[in-house]
Amino acid sequence: MKVSKKLVFSALTAMTAFVLVACGNSGQNPSNQAAQSQASSSVSQSSETVSSNSKASSNTNSSVNTSSSEASTSSQTAASDLYGTYKATHEGDALTLEVSGNKGTLTKVERDGEQEIEQVQVDPTNQTMIVGDDVKRYRIEGKQLTLEDLSQENDDDDTIVFTKQ
């Protein structure tokens, strides 16, 4: 009977310590939580092990949630930064890129007046655009949008710099 009371007491102590640490550290980062829990822990060794394992799991979940919300925010920001009309010239052709949300069109007017329109899909998470059948990486710097063909050879110059209108 003595052994089971010790086990119950140890488990309750561990759970109480975990709840107190979790509630008291809700605004702190994971590394501070671990340091504070080690400093304030005064329970038996078995209780510390249970408490540490629970906190490690909690810290991992907290980190995953933070990372996913940051990625979502950066995707939304990147998509809204692209919104608008961009113009460029490349190999004598006039190019107009119009982006709205994650879609758009690229209009290419050749020297002889022939016009070609391609659909554009934007992936702000990977900073890529699919223009027709070609995958291109994009980069925004101020009012300039730079498109680089991912399949280009080293000696090819398929980099196009657009200016936002």
Number of domains in the chain: 2
Question: What is the domain extent for residue 122?
Answer: 83-164
Cβ-based neighbour number of residue 82 at 10 Å: 23
| pTM for the model | 0.52
135 and 66, same domain (yes or no): no
Residue that finishes a domain, picked among 61, 76, 91: 76
63 and 131, same domain (yes or no): no
Q: Say how far apart CA 60 and CA 51 lie, in whole Å.
A: 14
pLDDT tens digits, 20-54: 666 665 555 444 444 444 444 444 444 444 444 44
Q: What pLDDT, on the 0 to 100 scale, is given for residue 82?
A: 86
What is the SS3 assignment for 50? helix
93 and 154, same domain (yes or no): yes
pLDDT tens digits, 92-147: 999 999 999 999 999 999 999 999 999 999 999 999 999 998 999 999 999 999 99
pLDDT tens digits, 54-79: 444 444 444 444 444 444 444 444 55
Q: What pLDDT, on the 0 to 100 scale, is given for residue 23?
A: 65
Residue that finishes a domain, picked among 76, 97, 122: 76
Residue that finishes a domain, picked among 76, 92, 127: 76
